[in-house]
Amino acid sequence: MRSPFAALLLCAGLAASLHARAGGPPPIYDEGADAKAAIRATLAEAEKARLPVLVVFGANWCGDCRMLDATFKQGPSAPLIAQHFKVVKVDVGRFDRNVDIAESYRVPLKKGIPAVAVLSPQGKLLYATEGGELADARKMGDQGVYDFFTRISASAK
């Protein structure tokens, strides 16, 4: 039988955990998503739009992933990404989720996240960050990220 003190500590811990989550930044990766299904759906959209798919591997705890996600929404990279790619984000957790998907696209997560793979609308691999090219996205800044995706969009045609 548990003591009332232990139950009180458990409740306090749960309350603190919920408070921390409520006050933290919103998630950018859906941790419960079926990544394979999301990629299939995005490939279907890409085929209709005749655009390549940008598969972005990352995690909610990753500062560089958050920075990259922000550049997709504002700044010079936002229109470039919107015009040249269909984007799907894949959560890798603490390198314990969807690792098989990253490996299937030759993306070595141990080199760092965020990491990307570019697929043709038919699902053929066109490009992968095999050397951790985006793992220091915060140091790259908006211009570095823009330059990177300018090169990638040119090679994905």
The closest of 131, 49, 36 to 88, measured between CA atoms, is 36
| Cα–Cα distance, 104 to 117 (Å, whole number) | 10
Domain residue ranges of the chain, discontinuous segments joined by +? 28-155
| Three-class HEC string of 5-16 | HHHHHHHHHHHH
Copy the structure tokens of residue 68.
Answer: 């990259």
Question: Would the pLDDT of 31 be above 80?
Answer: yes
Q: What is this structure's pTM?
A: 0.84
| Cα–Cα distance, 40 to 53 (Å, whole number) | 10
| Cα–Cα distance, 45 to 53 (Å, whole number) | 9
The string of pLDDT tens digits covering residues 102-130 is 999 999 999 999 999 999 999 999 999 99
Q: What is the pLDDT of residue 22?
A: 58
CATH code of the region 28-155: 3.40.30.10
What letter would DSSP give residue 14? H
